[in-house]
Amino acid sequence: MAQFFRFCVNGGVSAGIHYGVYVLMMQFIQIDIAYSIGYIVSFVYNFFLTCYWTFHARPTWMRLVGFSGSHVVNYLIHVVLFHLLTVWGVHRLIAPVLVLMVAVPTNFLILRYVYRTKQRDEKGDDTASCVQ
């Protein structure tokens, strides 16, 4: 339960970063591109906090691959739902909030699987470490 709480707090901050960058950038560029840039900026923050704080794990190349894979799925959910909602007439400031209602639980389940296997850390796989 504490892990899910940390995931939600980290995800909330990540979502805030994503949303803030999106709102700032949409004033200057196409909204789909602004949305994607916000996603990328929040991705970097999210990876390191997910490792260190949410799952209490070292960032490794294998975790980055798993995290990236989960975020490819998450990004596709975001983009498809965001596009559909805006086409259906949902306001461009409301659509991202609705997208999160589907994307957050899906992403947690995928990431929990990625970080659940502690065998990588227990085997002393220091060669795969992203951060020394």
pLDDT tens per residue, range 11-23: 889 989 999 999 9
Q: The domain containing residue 80 runs over which residues?
A: 2-117
The number of distinct structural domains making up the chain is: 1
- Residue with the larger pLDDT of the pair 20 and 74: 20
Q: Is residue 88 part of a domain?
A: yes
Q: How many CB atoms lie within 10 A of CB 60?
A: 20
> b/e per residue, 6-28, with b = 16+ CB within 10 A?
bbeebbeebbebbbebbeebbee
> In 10 A of CB 61, how many CB atoms?
12
- In a domain, residue 40? The reply is yes
Note the pLDDT of residue 32. Answer: 87
Asked, for residue 109, whether it belongs to a domain, the answer is: yes
Confidence (pLDDT) at 123: 53
pLDDT digits (tens, 9 = 90+) for 75-113: 898 899 999 999 999 998 899 889 988 888 887 888 778
Mention every residue, 6+ apart, whose C-beta is less than 8 A from residue 28: 34
* Residue 125 domain flag: no
- Residue 86's H or E segment, with its range, is helix 61-87
